[in-house]
Amino acid sequence: MRPRLIGSIPRSRAVPAVLAAALLTTACGSSDSAAAGPTTADTLTVAVSKDSGPLNIFAGQTDQISELIYDKLLAPSPYVAEPQPWLATDVRQVNATTWDVDLRDDVTWHDGEPFTADDVAFSFHFMHAAPTGRFTHHVNDTPSISTIEATGATSVRFVCDYACPELGTVTLADLPILPEHVWSKVDPAQAKKVTDLPVGTGPFKLVDYSPTSGYRFEANADYFAGAPTVGELVMPVIPDSSAAFTALRSGQVDAVDRALTPELVDQFSASNDIGVITVSPLTYPEVKLNYTRESFDQHDFRAAMTLAVDRKQMLDVVALGQGRPATQGYIHPDAPFADPDASTPYDPARAAPLFDKVGWVDADGDGMRENPAGDNAPFQLIVDGGEAPHVRAAELLVEDFAESGIAVEITPLDSGSLADASANMDYDLYIRANSPHAVADSTQFIMSHRSDNLWQHPDLAYPEFDALYEKWKATETNDDRIDAMQEMQKLFNRQPTAIALYYPDEHWAYRGDTFTGWIETPGYGIVHKWSFLPAEVVEEANAEAPQD
């Protein structure tokens, strides 16, 4: 019998298609030889962009890679409208604050120990105590879970401090489950320091890791959902994208864990040996505005800045038109809770009176505005000097702001210096890539306002958001909660602390002569566990992105 999710299901903005076939027919521009390749493989080699250590989930690794090892109660992620039970068999909302979850009884950990309800309860308690923002907000703030207890060998009850209608479709679809018999030996305060190879329930086991050679995974032949279609995954670390795609072209690797740069798409699509899959990712580049600094701490000034950005030009120049201009704002339009009517237009004529209102005027007639003190002091825009698309986006932003009379200068930094500046909020403006977790997870949108990412500063009041937060907190159904969140989205778009630049399409390339079982799942590209599982398993999980 198919597991079922009962309770408060979010409204679908688009009904998700459930397709059994792999995305062989969606290979954009690939030849018949690429599309007709094998759908199983003994070994695949996939270049990964960074060394994430031995995949300790508390140390900041890539979700797509760690989920080869770990499973969650629901699948595939919070980024689809209807996640399906996975380690769970049934998820029920008892009342506004209480959820009951029934679990599978046929799952074992990679070391042979049985998976039980105690593992689930332990995982949530451990994440509550461990010092990592990636998971803890799902437990101790948004939502705030007061009680997690095993009510039987295969059943768990969750009780929240306030209504948590999205617990079943967001929280339970996001948090990986840990083995109690392994992690109970670890002090949560030391969780980030664990270097042992991880033990999970997932379709692959990490059997070897080194900073020089990368990762080697072996298929879990006893995986409860079905044996993987690939026997071994070898993942060397190749940070430089040019080197990684050269290795793909020459056949040294079978795929790369990142999208092609826009200028490579036509070249790879024309190859007889390489297939290309076009996906719509839940990620985009943004420019952050440091709302703790003078002028940026004023709503009208930030509103004027967003009106000054030509997002259509940004898409055409930086992404070569491959995607959509970010005219709906911070929440990605493909997120399950996105407001379809959200709007962040390019309108310099509307920006001008707002700049005037906050005292930024062109007093000397040179075409550039002076600040309220009468000074002409350019803002500094920091950017990773090694990220060519971000540098080009920065150049366009300088031009856009100059047209509205605001002087901005670019400061290129190396990745380490950029990370330090970001952590210390030592910038005026800052270009970076945003993640699906940030812009397609409804609870993270709330948490970002409460953790100094999008707001939360003791010296800066934000009564408009505070009122909407209390309204959101009082809702008890997903429909009402989405309505409240869309009001927040409109507020944020009117006076943003981060400006979305464009929503790119992505084109992922693979060697069609070695494996063609790749599929897209929202927010994860094609390198993830769902590409390596049987088609009927992917269908059961509702993991494949709908196709046009």
Output the pLDDT for position 11. 33
Selecting from 3.60.15.10, 3.30.2130.10, 3.40.190.10, 3.30.420.40, what CATH number does the domain 1-19+50-237 have? 3.40.190.10
Output the pLDDT for position 459. 79
Instruction: Please enumerate in sequence order all residues whose Cβ is within 8 A of that of 35, keeping only pairs 6 or more positions apart, or say none.
Output: 24, 25, 27, 275, 512, 516
The whole-angstrom separation of Cα 484 and Cα 476 is 11
Which two three-digit tokens encode residue 396?
């366009």
* 423, HSE (Cβ side, Cα atoms, 13 Å): 6
CB 453 within 8 A of CB 445: no
Which two three-digit tokens encode residue 480?
């009402």
Instruction: Please enumerate in sequence order all residues whose Cβ is within 8 A of that of 417, keeping only pairs 6 or more positions apart, or say none.
Output: none
CB 337 within 8 A of CB 282: no
**Positions of the chain with pLDDT lower than 50, given as ranges:** 1-33
- The vertex-325 CA angle with 320 and 327, nearest 5°, equals 170
CATH code of the region 284-504: 3.10.105.10
Where does 190-308 show beta strands of DSSP type E?
204-210, 214-219, 230-235, 255-256, 274-279, 284-289
CB 489 within 8 A of CB 329: yes
CB 535 within 8 A of CB 20: yes
The whole-angstrom separation of Cα 401 and Cα 406 is 5
The whole-angstrom separation of Cα 204 and Cα 352 is 56
Residue type present at position 411 = T
Minimal CA–CA distance to 433: which of 422, 420, 443, 417? 422
**Hey, what's the torsion of the CAs at 331, 335, 340, 344, to 10 degrees?**
20
Output the pLDDT for position 7. 42
CA distances from 40 to 180, 227, 470, 505 (A): 34, 11, 51, 27
Q: Is the dihedral of CA 167, 171, 172, 177 positive or negative?
A: negative
372: Cα separation from own chain's centroid: 39
Output the pLDDT for position 13. 29
pLDDT tens digit string along 25-49?
A: 333 333 333 567 899 999 999 999 9
Q: Does the reported pTM lie above 0.85?
A: yes
CB 83 within 8 A of CB 76: yes
**Phi, psi (deg, nearest 5) at residue 347:** -155, 75
pLDDT tens digit string along 84-100?
A: 999 999 999 999 999 99
Q: Does 522 sit behind a cis peptide bond, omega within 30 degrees of 0 on the bond before it? A: no
Residue type present at position 220 = N
Minimal CA–CA distance to 81: which of 437, 542, 503? 542
**Phi, psi (deg, nearest 5) at residue 207:** -105, -15
Give me Rg for the CA atoms of the chain: 24
Q: Does 348 sit behind a cis peptide bond, omega within 30 degrees of 0 on the bond before it? A: no
The whole-angstrom separation of Cα 283 and Cα 363 is 40
CA distances from 103 to 88, 208, 512 (A): 4, 30, 38
**What are the structural domain ranges in the chain?**
1-19+50-237, 284-504
Output the pLDDT for position 10. 36
